[in-house]
Amino acid sequence: MRVLVTGVTGQAGCYLARHVAAEGHEVHGLARPASMAAAEAMLGASGVRIHAGDVRDQGSLDAAVAASRPERVFHFAAGVSVAQSWEDPAGHADVNALGTARMLEAVRHHAPEARFFYASSSEALGRSASADAVFDERSPFRPATPYGASKAFGHHLVQAYRDRYGMYAVCGVMFNIESPVGVRASVVQHVAASMVRIAEGRQAPSMEIGNLDAQRDWGFAGDHVEAAALMLEAAEPEDYVIATGVVHTVRDLVEAAAAAAGIPLPALQVAEDRLRPGEVNRIAADPSRVRERLGWSARTDLDGLLRLIVSDPTFRARALSAG
């Protein structure tokens, strides 16, 4: 089976490409021209064929889809920073919202029988009606950030294409994913890198942090992309929430990271520049539908995730080089 993965240098795209390549499929990855070398270094050994393309350029998407002739398409390419989306809302809309429209058009015209997965986001759900609400597939969208709004647009557009054109197109609402190759600006990466530096004596036993009471459902990217793969093999196209179903505070995260690094809990200093404007305080998920219908559930808990990250040689080298 031929598979095309956009955003192949990101953590979700990278793990998905490796997962389907390991199953024996012919895998093609889409990377921006400036990221071609990085994509080859990350995935060349897995046999992934890299195509140059940019979701802001319709022609490059048309060419990549026509060349790869995919039977399955996983669309992960996106700007993923909530903070940066406030600084450049139009840019995030171009990549996340219009980029999804361009990708859908490329698939519709050049691979109309392909099955299409869109990586939606818990940020698209945004603010719940009550403080203790749990999001599932029936929850309304109330995005509170430009990033969330751009992902909500893509989500609704995928559903519209499914209804209008009969495409097998689905949305996986992915809650916070992390891995050793996660987005460097994320709180998980910041905390884990700080713990590595403290453990190696490269940083004083203290660290700056944002909202310690913020609650998130953090999961391992390698687990979550397996749910995405299962979604495209179901008899009927259906959208799912992809999450662990367990919520932790940032304080829990810090404690788990310290334990994973084998050090005492460092002193914590709340820094104004680490507080995010418009941040939703609590985002909780109910992934029971994907468990019951597709048989998927996350295997990696928060402690295991932090152990995986802080023990990874490449992550450690990156953390220490920044110290």
Within a domain: residue 92? yes
User: What pLDDT, on the 0 to 100 scale, is given for residue 45?
Assistant: 85
DSSP 175-190: --EE-TT--TTSHHHH
Distance CA(125)–CA(277), nearest Å, equals 17
What number of CA atoms fall less than 13 Å from residue 2's CA on the CB side?
Answer: 13
Give me the catalytic one of 35, 123, 150, 240.
123
Q: Looking at the structure, tell me whether residues 109 and 210 fall in a common domain.
A: no
Q: Looking at the structure, tell me whether residues 118 and 208 fall in a common domain.
A: no
Q: Looking at the structure, tell me whether residues 20 and 158 fall in a common domain.
A: yes
Residue 323 has pLDDT above 70, yes or no: no
| Per-residue pLDDT tens over the stretch 229-265 | 999 999 999 999 999 999 999 999 999 999 999 999 9
Residue 203 has pLDDT above 80, yes or no: yes
DSSP 141-155: PB--SHHHHHHHHHH
Within a domain: residue 275? yes
User: What pLDDT, on the 0 to 100 scale, is given for residue 278?
Assistant: 63
Q: Decide if 161 is catalytic.
A: no
236: its two tokens: 């009927």
Within a domain: residue 291? no
Q: Looking at the structure, tell me whether residues 236 and 278 fall in a common domain.
A: no
User: What pLDDT, on the 0 to 100 scale, is given for residue 128?
Assistant: 74
What number of CA atoms fall less than 13 Å from residue 108's CA on the CB side?
Answer: 16
Q: Looking at the structure, tell me whether residues 253 and 232 fall in a common domain.
A: no
Q: Which ranges in the chain belong to alpha helices (H)?
A: 11-22, 36-43, 58-68, 82-87, 89-92, 99-110, 122-125, 146-165, 187-199, 221-231, 250-261, 288-294, 302-311, 313-321
Q: Decide if 121 is catalytic.
A: yes
* Domain range for 207: 184-216+247-283+301-321
Q: Looking at the structure, tell me whether residues 37 and 141 fall in a common domain.
A: yes
| Average pLDDT of the segment spanning 203-218 | 94
Q: Looking at the structure, tell me whether residues 197 and 71 fall in a common domain.
A: no
- Counting every residue written for the chain, the total comes to 323
List, in sequence order, every residue forming a beta bridge with 252; answer none if it has no partner.
Answer: none
Give me the catalytic one of 81, 121, 150, 186.
121
Give me the catalytic one of 15, 147, 168, 240.
147
Within a domain: residue 296? no
Indicate the pLDDT class of residue 282, thresholds 50, 70 and 90.
confident
- The CA-atom distances, in angstroms, between 81 and each of 43, 123, 227, 304 are 24, 11, 23, 24
**Entry pTM:** 0.95
Q: Looking at the structure, tell me whether residues 272 and 173 fall in a common domain.
A: no
Q: Looking at the structure, tell me whether residues 101 and 207 fall in a common domain.
A: no
Within a domain: residue 15? yes
- The CA-atom distances, in angstroms, between 182 and each of 65, 221, 291, 309 are 27, 9, 25, 9
Indicate the pLDDT class of residue 191, thresholds 50, 70 and 90.
very high
